[in-house]
Structure 1
Amino acid sequence: MEYRRNAMARLEQAEELDLPIRLAATGGRAAGVLLAVLVTAGTLWAFTGSLPRTMTATGVIAPPPASRAAGEPVVVLYVARQDADRVTAGSAVSLAVPGVPPTAPAGHLRGTVSYTATTAAVRAAVTAQLPKDASRVPPGAALVVVRIPAGQVSLSKALPLSASVHLAPVRPVDLVSGS
């Protein structure tokens, strides 16, 4: 009966159609405006901003061939086949030789991608060049040849190394859409 009495009392009250509607308190309005600004800024950044991308790879750095002894060392990186198409000639590469401090002359090198081979690396050749690190090389890896400017390092034997290949930046919306 209590519900019926409350309902009847409500029906008998005058309607308040002439009063302004209060949708949110001042704090709620400020939070709504802040949320709108953040969503707008995020959307704008998604379409106009960019994210840097890097890829890690295992490889070997070798002295120049005897035919060009005064030339540049040869760096061969092994990259997963599906990632090889993202590596383009001219991409910057940072190289780190394990066991050599980054402050030493041969500890941290920079180079550029010369080319990416179209054929997969032969497993026996990878194992011969990287006996300890061959397990880190993905099966069917593609070869990426990196050019290091002469004078950065002089080598007497081949050394294993790890590398970060700096790829072209990508827009955040492209990551979401998968393109």
Structure 2
Amino acid sequence: MKFRFKALQRMREPDELDSPTLLAAPRGWIALFVVMITMTAALLWTFGGRIPVTVDSPGLLTHSSGTALIQSPYGGMVRAVLAQPADPVKLGQTVVRVEDAEGRTREITSPFGGQVVGLSVTDGQVIAPGSPVASVERTDTPQDRMVAMVFVPAERAIGLAPGNEVELSVSTAPSGAFGLLRGTIGSVSPYTLTREAVSGLVGGELAAQRYLSGSPPKLVTVELTPDASTPSGFAWTSQSGPPMRLGTQASVTATINVGRQTPFNLILGR
């Protein structure tokens, strides 16, 4: 009866025609404006924004001529290994002595100058003609300098060109502490590299496996940006980079900047 009495009482009251009708609360209008502004900003960014397009690939720091293998022209037993890793070698220097089947001592000499980075034989080992005995990082060319050799899968190398900016994460200088090493593309090989070609550049089949996991790569040579104010002698994304000189044969991961693209085109795959 209580609810019925209230209903009858409201029916007797005149309509409140002069009272304003509230279509939406102020909070609702604020939320609507925020959504509209956000959507407008997103559309403007989708069609007018620019995001960097990069290619990431593995490589290593080395000298401009790379690493080459010294092979034995003789078969026989290794009697003496005369060079050790990190030793410098000159053109014509004896690195291994081999005793052939007739008991003659044969000397295996280096056909180039550089620094030994690895040995493939030990004393007493029997080798065949053509067997590798040592790998040497060549430093005997007139334009010798430290570079980064980066191996980019062919399908990802489209658009790469000399002058593209590159940032290198160096294994011996953690990027979290020292930043990234700066450089630019110096050259891009016109053709893909065979397994043998990659092995010849990095010093053997075992070293080449890291760069041959996918499709045949192209060689991208990165020229490091010099900076005399840093301890390493090169420019970094941090102020000074690592507090020491860089050594070769260090693994790197290269991030190559190939340009900028609108998010709309990136979504469409253009």
What TM-score comes out, normalization by structure 2 length? 0.49
Q: CA deviation at 1:86?
A: 3.2
Moved more, 19-28 or 35-44: 19-28
- Partner in structure 1 of residue 141 of structure 2: 67
Deviation of 1:39 (Å): 0.8
More helix by percentage: 1
The one-letter code of the counterpart of 2:217 is A
Offset of 1:21 from its aligned partner?
Answer: 8.0
Choose 1 or 2 for highest CA Rg: 2
For the residues of structure 1 that align with 2:266 and 2:260, how far apart are their CA atoms?
11
**Unmatched runs of 5 consecutive residues or more in structure 1:** 1-18
1:176 paired with 2:267, answer yes
The structure richer in strand per residue is: 2
Q: What count of residue pairs does the alignment treat as equivalent?
A: 156
Q: 1:114 to 1:26 in 2, by over 3 A?
A: same
Task: Tell me the equivalent position of 1:117.
Answer: 189
* Paired letter, 1:91: N
Inter-CA distance 163–133: structure 2 relative to 1 (3 Å threshold):
farther
1:90 counterpart residue number: 163
SS at match of 1:169: strand
Q: Secondary structure at the match of 1:118?
A: coil
How far does the alpha carbon of each residue in 1:44-91 deviate from its partner, in whole angstroms, 9 at most, with x for none? 11122111233221112222442225x432322111211101323211
Q: Distance in 2 between matches of 1:22 and 1:48?
A: 39
Give the distance between the partners of 1:117 and 1:26, measured in 2 at CA: 64
Equivalent pair of 1:54/1:167 in contact (CA under 8 Å)? yes
CA distance in 1, matches of 2:211, 2:24: 58
Match of 1:78 in 2: 151
- Work out the percentage of aligned pairs sharing the same amino acid: 25
In the alignment, structure 1 residue 101 sits paired with structure 2 residue 173: yes
Q: Find runs of 4+ consecutive structure 1 residues off by over 6 angstroms.
A: 19-22
How far apart, in 1, do the equivalents of 2:253 and 2:43 lie? 36
1:12-161 paired onto structure 2 within 5 Å: 24-65=24-65, 66-68=140-142, 71-98=144-171, 100-102=172-174, 108-127=180-199, 129=202, 131-132=206-207, 134-137=209-212, 138-149=214-225, 151-152=233-234, 158-161=249-252
Taking only aligned residues, the RMSD between alpha carbons, in angstroms, comes to 3.1
Q: Distance in 2 between matches of 1:116 and 1:23?
A: 66
